[in-house]
Amino acid sequence: MTVHGIGGTPLEGWVPFAPAWEQGRIRWLDERTNPYEPWSIKRMAKIVGVNERTITRWNGRGQINADYADLVAVRLGTHPGLLWPEFWWAECA
């Protein structure tokens, strides 16, 4: 999978995972039915549609590959440019 930025140029590299993790947590807080239910890797994996090992790897590394950043952002209900503006819109500067 190749993700293209502004102007159709392929994006390469890595972006921080923390903004995606926080967006997932915010979405989960809005949707949860049990206020005592903790936020977890398992819940993030379910929202994003990947396995727990992938989330653990991204979380441990602290970064996510640009190829997956778009997919993750969309599955979290947002645009990747809102999670990683300095990376996503770099070609506009």
Q: List pLDDT tens digits, range 27-46.
A: 888 888 887 888 999 999 99
The answer to whether 67 and 14 have CB atoms below 8 angstroms apart is: no
What's the predicted TM-score (pTM) here? 0.77
75 backbone dihedrals φ, ψ, rounded to 5°: -70, -20
Supply 39's token pair: 């936020």
The answer to whether 13 and 2 have CB atoms below 8 angstroms apart is: no
Task: Count CA atoms closer than 13 A to 21's CA, side-chain side.
Answer: 20
Is 3.40.50 the CATH number for 14-92?
no
Mark out the alpha helices in 32-83 (DSSP H runs). Answer: 41-48, 52-61, 66-75, 80-83
User: What is the per-residue pLDDT across 41-50, written as a single tens digit (0 to 9) for each?
Assistant: 999 999 999 9
Instruction: List the domain boundaries for the chain.
Output: 14-92
